Amino acid sequence: MSAGRASVAAPRQASGDTATGAPVQLAGGTASGGSSTVIYSATDLSAASACEWALLRKLDWMLGRIEKPPFVEDDMLKRAGRLGDLHEKKVLDSLKLTRTVAEIERPEDSGIRDGSFAGIRSATADTIAALNARADVVFQGAFFDGRFLGYSDFVILGENGLYEVYDTKLARKAKITALLQLAAYSDQLQALGFEVGENVHLWLGTGEISTHRLADILPVYHKRRARLQQILDDRVTDSGATKWGDPRYSACGRCDACAEQVERTHDVLQVAGMRLTQRAKLRAAGVLTTEQLAVRVEPVQGMSDATLAALRDQASMQVQAAQVEAAQVDAGSAPPWRVVNPIALTALPAPDAGDVFFDFEGDPLHEEQQLWGLDYLFGMVDTDAVFTAFWADSLAEEKVALVRFLEFVRERRAAHPGMHIYHYASYERTHLLTLAARHGVGEEEIDDLLRNTVLVDLYPIVRQGLRIGSHSYSLKKLEPLYMEEGRDGTANAADSISEYVRYTEFLATGEADAAAAVRADIEQYNTYDCVSTLRLRDWLLARASEVGVTPAVDDALAVEMLAAMPLREPDPVYTALMGYLQATGGGADGAGGLGAERGPDETAIALASAAIDYHRREAKSFWWEHFDRLRSPVDEWADTRGVFVIDSARVVRDWSLEGPRARNLSREFVVTGTAAPGSRFTGGDSPFVLFDPPFPPLVGRFEPGTRLAHSRVTFRDRGDGTYSLTEKLSSDGETYDEVPLAVTPASPPGAAKLAEAIAEWGREVLAGLRPGGLLPGGLLPGDPRTPATMIPDAALDILRREPPRLVSLPGLVRGESTIASIRSSLLDLHRSYIAVQGPPGTGKTYTGSHVIADLVANHGWKVGVVAQSHSAVENMLEAIVAAGLDPKLVGKKLKDSDARPGSFTALTAGEVAGFVGQSNGYVFGGTQWTFANANTVPRGSLDLLVIDEAGQFSLASTIASSVAASRLLLLGDPQQLPQVSQGTHPEPVDVSALGWLASGHGVLPEPFGYFLDTSWRMHPALCAPVSRLSYEGRLFSHDSDRMLMGVDPGLHVLPIAHRGNSTASIEETAAVVELIDGLLGSAWSAEGVTRPLGERDLIVVAPYNAQVELIGLALAAAGHPDVPVGTVDRFQGQEAAIAIISLAASGADDVPRGLEFLLLANRLNVAISRAQWASYLVFSPALTEYLPGSVAGLTQLSAFIDLVEPGAAAPGAAEPRPAERRPVNGSVES
């Protein structure tokens, strides 16, 4: 972690000292630049990625162009550094016990200052010598290539004879900055000619070693290094200081260096709630300052009138506040304010004598039992400002504090049924939930507090109800409005943490009086926060009274929440399984994931216990989000999948009876607006519509301060940029003219039968663990230390990640044709499963249908087919009939009576029992609800259940369906569109069955089943990048006679530069239209026929509905209305000669839901692999110019870079390369 100890944001030196380890150092030259060389470290790569402005500001100072910028001392960072040094020493001492360690001494004089580099070159030579001598471990290896300087913690020789880099990090999980350092040192090793292993490693503060593929990091590292070198060289050769707002360099807008300039220039970032994307749009419109925004009345492109009005109003208030402050001597005067939405204040409950005002204090760096973080103080005051505190100096005491807090609340609610717990912002709510999950106590009780709206967050009430002339709506910035006295002693949360560390150190050394004094200071700080929350509540009540608003008395929303999420006791099977795990030491590791010490049996039991409560968690997650949408500002949930914010609505049919059979009045709109990324609106469910006041006269209860909602709605995309919205009245409802604010996700379908099937399966698992069933209270008989007995069961084998259980064969059949091998293996299978991974175009459906047809026709098997959707099931049934099975033996009840029957037998509800009960073999199709229902398919009555699209079928759904059969066949591909889950689960039961078995591998491990490795769709030149992206290079293509004259096969990348686009790009749309103009009419040869390429031979895929609509309109205007355009979900399972993908977004800051959604390899895989001949990827090159915030995001970005710049992971691939040019119809497009 050496290179990480000094960073640009928090330098170790307070002057221009260029001692080894300092960031962005000048070598030789003069203070004004000249021949100076800038030396940088891996830390600087991360610093530049976070904020180029801050790094260049420091460089300008080192070049003598500006005065020294202010540096803020960070006590927490210093403390982390000290703890990190101790952690590194522990690892070093442990390695010395078993390995030979070559320690490289750091030079006292590096030689950087005078440009000789003598000291650092000597240390580098010692490092190379140690590596050449094949030392087991090289500690503090020095690397210097003339520009990059760094010291690795450990370079360790592996059993394969290759060196791999290890770094010690105090963190509890891998951080991106640490992974970049690992990549930097690995890259240096490769540049020196040493072959390195494929992995790099972090020794985390938990003691765990976190391992990562080097290829998942190097492309991003090379990008960041090339960018850093470019901007450093630009600044050295430039003659002046970097100017704020220079479009060549990015600025985060949040760090101290940015804050200084934001204040100095009155940048619009001063405006409370301003987003960087909004700032970019304002700057493009010439609005640079807060003062300019305060008077802006003209529209701003890409910004709604309502958003502009709100920002203008906020800016105006802040300008007014600045004028007032400038005219007064008293710097602590209250900012101006006004009530802008009186209805928001109706969310304030009526005051109660039992009310309390609550605030946590927590230390995120506390480490104990390999767990991080400690909420050390639960503080609260009552309405008389009397303070109550529950302290915790350990995790055990934290659990006690949580229990005492809940007891305190329980007793207070008993004495004061109308009491509420007030807090400011979401920390208290989220941490109560986290603590309950961590300690396994109080989960239902905290749920009850939330469900009954006992917790009241004042922050959204302030944000929605008032406009305040402050750049921040933090509690401390609001205090001049209502607090008479300022703060003394501890000033902020970071100070509180530092003081808490001092307190624990005094305790450790026995200095009780000193510890007590520090503790009293922390309590004083916490008391002030609690009293501040009390005074804010009172001030808001006064403002509500002034505008004639009466506080809420009836918590009507709580009644609705209770109906949606009724209280219930934990399932006794869940309790018993969890008790077994805890008794045998196989419980969760405390972070909600699988404990590393678990074996297959414990893993399966943990997953089984989580599955029992899976559907309740999924539903609860939905309802919490739904009720939050009723209270929170729209911009906080507008990007949630399934949300459509309505901009305009035109009535095309007013309230009337639609058709002769209609019983309820309905009306229909054509609406326009903004759909959240990833949303599809097909009219197949019943979403909610939300209304802001004034409310329509809908039947039902609602709480003041919230929105009104109902779900008597159908909503579908009309395909032309507009949407059809139909509302129905209840039987006794009144008509109204009000128009909804938004469409939001439908409630999840009822899952009672699924939960019942999983619980029944869980009881069988329990019976195997402990014969005799459950004792009262959900306890198991017998000694819990006795080894578990796992029943033979297909779903359980999947959870255990055990290979399929065969009767007589030593392993799965190989060597025959794929269909014959799968059939032979299934015939020898005993109450187990077989998995088949079928990448795009490999004939998964063909293979599965022929296996099924053979088993039914020749072996009399009874087979079920299940999938996520009716259409997927019916597609497989059609294929089974096409494979030669008698249609009379292939049946399914259609989803609705109006559906078109296929070649299989369409069953009525009354015919299902007879079909399933026949003695001969058959195929019966349905959804998971079909097979979980014992009244439809008796338990265990099927010889085989085929789960199609098992890459999207969760483990919980797999268990629920599996009860109908003795064997499972999983068909699908976890590398295509993933399983979507709403809930947060203690174990990963929400991942797909195939994804669980693949366990992060691109290709299913061979012991679990079969990988179909030949694509019959894609040309080899196109298959190669898809194989590299998603299938570890193990997917190949079968030769075909297809040919598109004048166009090279493969993946064509078309980088199109643009700025400020979020979900739609005019520039990319124009490129798509031009590309299609050039492709249409080309000679397309396929299946022995040559003809002109037509509109239906192409598809255009975009991630956002806005871009789909824009491209569709542009193509229609260009005379190509029949080219299919849609999101990737629409085209899964389809193919075309050409696929064109437009990503639309300009850069990382412009992307709603983050680049993790946009660049998800699964989505790119599906989009690119729709094509038979060629795919075109149209994108902004700026999408690759950012540093992700997660390991998953880093992996995705590296994969994308490697996709558009093949070879980016190769050593020395740091230099930027021009955009690749590909021939299109004989011409060249960039």
Cis amide prior to 694 (ω within 30 degrees): yes
CA distance linking residue 405 with residue 385, whole number of Å: 17
Identify whether the C-beta of residue 608 lies closer than 8 Å to the C-beta of residue 764. Answer: no
Average confidence (pLDDT) over 486-493? 54
**Residue 1046 is encoded by which pair of tokens?**
């004048």
- pLDDT band per the 50, 70, 90 thresholds, residue 1221: very low
pLDDT in tens, 547-598: 988 776 555 555 565 566 665 667 788 878 877 777 766 554 433 333 446 7
What pLDDT, on the 0 to 100 scale, is given for residue 530? 96
What pLDDT, on the 0 to 100 scale, is given for residue 113? 77
Identify whether the C-beta of residue 1191 lies closer than 8 Å to the C-beta of residue 174. Answer: yes
Q: Which residue has the tokens 């739904």?
A: 626
Q: How far apart are the first and last CA of the chain?
A: 42
Helix (H) or strand (E) segment spanning residue 372: strand 371-382
Angle at 1003 between CA 1000 and CA 1009, to 5 degrees: 110
Residue scoring higher pLDDT (28 or 1136): 1136
Model confidence at 446: pLDDT above 80: yes
Q: DSSP secondary structure string, 396-425?
A: HHHHHHHHHHHHHHHHHHHH-TT--EEESS
149 three-state secondary structure: strand
Residue 513 neighbours by CB under 8 Å, 6+ apart: none
Amino acid symbol at 882: A
pLDDT in tens, 220-236: 999 999 999 999 999 88
- pLDDT band per the 50, 70, 90 thresholds, residue 818: very high
**Residue 583 is encoded by which pair of tokens?**
């008794």
Q: How many CB atoms lie within 10 A of CB 756?
A: 16
Average confidence (pLDDT) over 523-544? 94
Residue scoring higher pLDDT (632 or 1027): 1027
Angle between helices 556-564 and 614-629 (to 10 degrees): 160
- DSSP lists the bridge partners of residue 151 as 142
Amino acid symbol at 503: Y
Model confidence at 210: pLDDT above 90: no
Residue 88 neighbours by CB under 8 Å, 6+ apart: 1, 153, 168
**Residue 958 is encoded by which pair of tokens?**
């797999």
Give the percent of the chain with pLDDT over 90.
53
pLDDT in tens, 294-331: 999 999 887 878 789 989 999 999 999 988 877 765 55
Residue 166 neighbours by CB under 8 Å, 6+ apart: 153, 154, 155, 156, 200, 201, 202, 203, 209
What pLDDT, on the 0 to 100 scale, is given for residue 172? 56
Helix (H) or strand (E) segment spanning residue 1175: strand 1171-1179
In angstroms, how far is CA 851 from the centroid of its own chain? 38
CA distance linking residue 75 with residue 608, whole number of Å: 45
289 three-state secondary structure: strand
Identify whether the C-beta of residue 217 lies closer than 8 Å to the C-beta of residue 183. Answer: yes
pLDDT in tens, 75-125: 555 656 667 777 788 888 888 899 999 999 988 877 887 778 889 999 999
Model confidence at 676: pLDDT above 90: no
Strands (E), 712-853: 713-717, 723-728, 742-744, 833-837
Identify whether the C-beta of residue 164 lies closer than 8 Å to the C-beta of residue 156. Answer: yes
What's the mean pLDDT when you consider all of the chain?
A: 85
What pLDDT, on the 0 to 100 scale, is given for residue 618? 84
The region of weakest confidence among 754-763, 777-786, 820-829, 977-986 is: 777-786
* Measured CA distances, 832 to 602, 773, 802, 823, 968 (Å): 18, 24, 10, 14, 6
Q: Which of 649-663, 924-938, 1056-1070 has the highest mean pLDDT?
A: 924-938
Average confidence (pLDDT) over 644-649? 91
Model confidence at 723: pLDDT above 90: yes
Give the percent of the chain with pLDDT over 70.
85
Strands (E), 426-537: 455-457, 466-468
Identify whether the C-beta of residue 605 lies closer than 8 Å to the C-beta of residue 573. Answer: no
What pLDDT, on the 0 to 100 scale, is given for residue 734? 87
pLDDT in tens, 32-46: 444 567 889 888 888
Q: How many CB atoms lie within 10 A of CB 460?
A: 19
pLDDT in tens, 173-205: 667 888 999 999 999 999 999 999 999 999 887
Longest CA–CA span in the chain (Å) reads 95
Residue scoring higher pLDDT (1060 or 885): 885
What pLDDT, on the 0 to 100 scale, is given for residue 11? 28
Q: How many CB atoms lie within 10 A of CB 77?
A: 14
Burial label, 241 (beta-carbon count in 10 A; 0-12, 13-18, 19+): middle
pLDDT in tens, 898-928: 556 678 999 999 999 999 999 999 999 999 9
Question: Rounded to 5 degrees, what are φ and ψ at 787?
Answer: -55, 145
Residue 1111 neighbours by CB under 8 Å, 6+ apart: 1069, 1072, 1073, 1100, 1102, 1125, 1142
CA distance linking residue 376 with residue 399, whole number of Å: 10
Angle at 784 between CA 782 and CA 786, to 5 degrees: 85
* Measured CA distances, 759 to 609, 752, 754, 960 (Å): 9, 10, 9, 9
- pLDDT band per the 50, 70, 90 thresholds, residue 367: low
- pLDDT band per the 50, 70, 90 thresholds, residue 492: low
> How crowded is the C-beta side of 931, counted as CA atoms within 13 Å?
34
The region of weakest confidence among 332-336, 772-776, 850-854, 1037-1041 is: 772-776
What pLDDT, on the 0 to 100 scale, is given for residue 780? 47
What per-residue string of b and e applies to 498-507 under the rule 16 or more CB within 10 Å gives b?
bbbbbbbebb
What pLDDT, on the 0 to 100 scale, is given for residue 566? 60
Q: How many CB atoms lie within 10 A of CB 763?
A: 16
What per-residue string of b and e applies to 3-36 under the rule 16 or more CB within 10 Å gives b?
bbbbbbbbeeeeeeebebbbbbbbbeeeeebeeb
Q: How many CB atoms lie within 10 A of CB 735?
A: 12
Residue scoring higher pLDDT (574 or 947): 947
What pLDDT, on the 0 to 100 scale, is given for residue 995? 95
